[in-house]
Amino acid sequence: MTTTTRPPVQAPPDRPDQPVRRKGIASRTPRGFYWMVLPAFALFFLLHTVPVLQGVFFSFTDSPGYGPWKFVGLSNYAALFTDSRVLHSYLFTFQFALVSTVLVNIIALAVAVALNARIRFKSTLRGVYFIPYVLSILVVGYVFQYLFTFSIPAIAQAVGNAKFSTSILSDEGLAWIAIVVLAVWQAAAFNIVLYLAGLQTVPAELYEAASLDGATAWKKFSHITFPMIWGFFVINMVLSLKGFLQVFDHVVAMTGGGPGTATESVGLVIYKGGFQGGEFGYQLANAVVFMIVIIVFALVQFRVLQREDVNA
């Protein structure tokens, strides 16, 4: 029998000079994807980007919102920093936003921790606490206005409390507190849902191990719960502050900016001056500045909270 020996098969030599072809994301994406995204992109550009660019353009004019106008350069922006009404609206808005942000996160976190415990009717209570978020702010605001105008003073008179026998909505120094109460009550629902979502991510084994070590409820919260949901806390803080800085409906329903101009927010000043006072171009400059302030404030807040997370 004759044995035939085949020569060994040699692998082709490496060619380092030959570039490796890698398909990018764009080449792997079907063309149909772009056709699906195009309508949404076009609508966003037409309904959001174009109005923003128009607003920036007219902020350099003296336009009253109708009729002829002319360019005034940076005059509108310079006038903002000497306008006492505008400066007071910024002070009120930031005071309201900071206080409301702190209160709503404390209350929402406390309620979320309670709802996450082993209690009866847990699912029902979660639904009940979310109701304020789906209600109209204006409708709820008028209800709260009635309570602060009539019900609370009547109760105060009945118990002999002279300080609150008159409505705080007529007090320049206290009217903002009523707006904070309404805003926190309405906004807490959304924050509660986010905190509940975060609490679901905490492993139950950690609590069991802590219980075996004799940890108290406060130590479990401070050493396990809060560090584990820190990311949700950051999101809630940023979203809450951003939302409260844009306060408008709450003020309209409760005080209309009064007494006088004591509770005028930046948004309300822009609305009144731009659409009712013939200051369209001037208030557009105010809106551009306020938009920049919100963006910068949110970025700084996010960076600070993110740094605290890294250090922790």
Domains and CATH numbers, the chain: 99-136+176-311 (1.10.3720.10)
Global pTM?
Answer: 0.81
Per-residue pLDDT, averaged over 197-210, amounts to: 89
pLDDT of residue 79: 94
What is the spatial distance between Cα 207 and Cα 79, in angstroms, rounded to a whole number? 58
Q: What is the dihedral of CA 226, 231, 236, 238, to 10 degrees?
A: 130
Q: Has residue 22 got a pLDDT over 60?
A: no
* Residue in 272, 299, 298 with CA at minimum distance from that of residue 283: 272
Read off the pLDDT of residues 34-44 as tens digits, 9 standing for 90 and up.
888 888 989 99
Q: What is the pLDDT of residue 1?
A: 47
pLDDT band at 18 (very low <50, low <70, confident <90, very high): low
178-203 pLDDT, tens digit each? 999 999 999 999 999 899 989 989 99
Angle between helices 230-245 and 84-116 (to 10 degrees): 150
> Which residue has 């600070």 as its token pair?
304
- Please tell me the distance from the alpha carbon of residue 310 to that of residue 194, in angstroms, as a whole number: 21
Q: Which helix (H) or strand (E) holds 266?
A: helix 266-271
Give the per-residue pLDDT at 305.
72
- pLDDT of 78 > 90? The answer is yes
State how far Cα 206 lies from the chain centre: 31
**DSSP secondary structure of 98-163:** HHHHHHHHHHHHHHHHHHHSS-TTHHHHHHHHHHHHHS-HHHHHHHHHHIIIIIHHHHHHHTT-ST
Task: Give backbone dihedrals phi and psi of 66, rounded to 5 degrees, phi first.
Answer: -160, 160
The 10s digit of each residue's pLDDT in 228-249 is 999 899 889 988 998 999 999 9
